Amino acid sequence: MAREKDGMRVGEEEVRGKVRGLLAARDPAEGEPLEFLRARFDAGLAWVHFPVRLGGLGAPRALQAVVDAELAAVGAPDNDPGRIGIGLGMAAPTILRYGTEEQKLRFLRPLWTGEEVWCQLFSEPGAGSDLAGLRTRAIREGADGTDGTDGAGDWIVDGQKVWTSGAHNARWAILIARTDPDLPKHQGITYFVCDMTDPGVEVRPLRQITGEAEFNEVFLTGVRIPDAHRLGAVGEGWRVAQATLMNERVAIGGTALPREGGMIGPAAEVWRARPELRTPELHDRLLTLWVESEVARLSAERVRQQLAVGAPGPEGSGLKLAFAGLNQRISGLEVELLGEEGLRYGDWTMVRPRSVDFYGRDAGYRYLRAKGNSIEGGTSEILRNIIAERVLALPAEPRTDKDAAWKELPR
């Protein structure tokens, strides 16, 4: 992950020098924040472990913390990562790994600066846990059959996607679609970048238990995608999608947090501030959850260190599984601690939020929003299977449809 420059390893001093050079050239207190972010990207300080010209320096990933700390200390603007989390955590690493040079140069800079928001068009009404069973079709215009492998035209996409966070704000989407129904379900899928502003893309809100609609369903009707927006080879979409999913689970469950960061912080604060609410039983539960949260936080740190030497593996599924369970149990305990107050939820209003907020507002919101954690980013049931088979090497579940053509599968 390190880059050699004139025989020298790119290290901390060079990275700090780049930060000093950026600040000397651009005062973050003056001018538009976007201009500073663009200059930061061009200086290689967006994600230092990315290659030169793509927002990085080819330096060790751990040095990103040095950059972030120095820029935060002088009040430099950030790129509002909560708003562009799907682009940062899922689209960017996939484009870096599988994209062409033209795709990397086109998409990564405006993705990181926040000029272009991304969403993920994977799940479908009949293909959530069994994502490989998806029905959305992409047929290559001018092909001499339906397999989408011949001809040189655009791809025409028809189908429906669901549970799409932030689709109402997105300019681009990462999309998987079936390009060959004659192959087994995992083999006939291709991965695309879809322009959410194109004709035929319709976004409809899905109102959640919180009252908001950060999720959406997306209808694709005759959407034209140029072949230049295909990521990876035709028919290799499942392999490309696995890279996205592994990064997604780390992005959700492996966020860097301080001690008592995340859901445990508000619960612990209620415990300290409201002694009249305490009972021995609640104390034991809170202490247990505090310890489990700390274990999860340190485990996430270890996985992030492993990322410095390679792509995320199935261990990220464990992080995301722990994240979901802990959030639900901690938010439930917080509601119990507050008693009648915990039953109040102050703002059950239909809004279309700009970003996903797991922890914000009051205890009632946290309790309701945490219910979605066991579904988004891979259901807890599927993640347990992944951990069992790929981490613990337990026998795989029988899969009778593995080698059958997708079009022959019962639906």
Instruction: Identify the three-state secondary structure at position 215.
Output: strand
Residue 61 near residue 308 (C-beta atoms within 8 A): yes
CA distance 189 to 135: 10
In Å, what is the CA distance from 248 to each residue of 94, 208, 292? 10, 21, 22
CB atoms within 10 A of CB 408: 10
- The candidate with the shortest Cα–Cα distance to 409, out of 145, 130, 139, is 130
Whether 248 is catalytic is yes
Six-digit token string for 18: 């780049």
The owner of tokens 């202490």 is 287
Residue whose entry in the numeric block shows the structure tokens 């005759």: 222
Catalytic residue (one of 248, 315, 334, 336): 248
d(CA 231, CA 100): 8
Structure tokens at 308: 């410095």
DSSP H helix total and E strand total for the chain: 12, 10
As a whole number of Å, the end-to-end CA separation of the chain is: 45
Query: Three-state SS for 330?
Result: helix
Q: Among 237, 153, 240, 225, which Cα is nearest to 195's?
A: 225
Q: Which of 117, 112, 129 is nearest to 163 (CA)?
A: 129
Catalytic residues: 248
